[in-house]
Structure 1
Amino acid sequence: MMRQVAMVRFKFDWQKTIEAIEFIARQEPGITQYYIGKILFFADREHVLDYGRPITGDKYVAMEYGPVPSGVRDLLKFDSGFPDEILDELQAHIGIEHEGNKQRVYSKSGSDLPKLSGSDKTYLIASIRKYAKMSFPRLKDVSHEDVAYNEAWDRPGNANEMNIELWLEELDDPQAAKAQINEYANCAA
């Protein structure tokens, strides 16, 4: 029997996530849901490594084409099941056009995006610059190199949650980093 590992989880901040999606769509009008997910993944990953906290608090799952932010995936679905308050906020910030099996996302509001910090925006911009124009096959390959993705993908089942603490193993003091993200997760919960 496989031992269950307790994973650190952050509080999903839907307002900040909507602002992050709009921020990305402002930089890359018509960007697809796939690229939004990957940009958020890499920005969140680097922000956790440098600051001990993610941008969105989303939970990442391992799927066929790489890591997927599950809250973002659900938010951008036609039948997401989120409360009307959240869907109204989403629709105030972004527009979604369906193009075959792709969804193209556009910014609508032009608001100030007050929930995003300066470091959030900096990491989102860096991720956009690095990944937004990358080919689908290359982006898939790069995202499949992530240690947390591979560990989750190798477990039995589908859409397994990724253990983001595995990211910290590359740092000089992984134990101190784990204590920091656990403290932030407990404060945010």
Structure 2
Amino acid sequence: MNKTVTYTHSMRITPPAFNGDRVKAENLIIYVCQKMENCPGFGAILLNKVLYYIDHVHYLKHGKKLTGFKYIKQRLGPTPKPSEFLPIRESLIDNEKINEKPVEFFGRVQKRLSALTEPDLKGFTVDEISLIDNVISALSPFNGKAISDVTHEELSWKFAGMMEELPDYAYLLTEAPLNEDDLTWARKTITEYAGNVR
């Protein structure tokens, strides 16, 4: 069921279906807002980056993202695809589960976010909560500008065009030199694959 969503800036769109886990995404957003609301630099930009790193660290460990959001390249770094993310965020605001309040932060307007309700964590495993908490802990000292600068060093962001979707596997890109273990793995994989080609 698609419904038209009206955003606070008077734009009306009909969002496409979100193919991820909407309930998990909603509760993750509430949880992140709750855990980070006392961090001075926490606003909409940092939320986007926390979600990006949670999803991609989960992808590295388990082969899939936690929320299922697609991410795109934007000027301030990777963000969840707006057509998937904004309807969820706006629904959380409209249903008074999170609050967004503009505040001045070092001469700029920061969209401060806070949780207004408790997240339902029943859908998360202990390992997922641990991963989420580790990412939150690592990123809590950052503000929007600082974390954007960090994400601009990600190869997946560097090689994408503006507003282009960032493939999940691009998060695996590295500038680290190959070592002997890498070469051994590559040779073994090539040999196994070549043996299976008919």
Instruction: Tell me the TM-score normalised to structure 2 length.
Output: 0.66
CA distance in 2, matches of 1:37, 1:135: 12
CA contact (8 A) 2:27 2:120 kept: no
Aligned-residue offset at 1:151: 1.9
Alignment map for 1:1-189 (pairs within 5 Å): 11-29=19-37, 31-70=42-81, 71-76=84-89, 87=91, 91-99=95-103, 101-152=109-160, 155=161, 158-169=162-173
CA-atom RMSD in angstroms: 2.8
Higher relative contact order by CA 8 Å / sep ≥ 6: 1 or 2? 1
On the 8 A contact 2:93/2:99 being kept in 1, the answer is no
Shift in Å at residue 103 of structure 1? 2.1
**In structure 1, C-alpha distance between the alignment counterparts of 2:100 and 2:52, rounded to whole Å:** 20
Between the two proteins, the alignment pairs up a number of residues equal to 153
TM-superposed deviation, 1:144: 1.2
Runs of 5+ unmatched residues, structure 2 = 1-17, 175-181, 190-198
Give deviations 1:51-98, integer Å, cap 9, x for gaps.
Answer: 111111001000111111123345335xxxxxxxxx269725322223
Cα distance in 1, alignment partners of residues 68 and 94 from structure 2? 17
Which segments of structure 1 move beyond 6 Å, counting only runs of 4 or more?
none
Paired-residue identity, %: 20
Q: Which residue of 2 aligns with 1:181?
A: none
Contact 2:30 2:119 in 1 (8 A): no
Which structure is larger by alpha-carbon Rg, 1 or 2? 2
2:13 equivalent in structure 1: none
Q: How high is the TM-score relative to the length of structure 1?
A: 0.69
Q: Which has the higher helix share?
A: 1
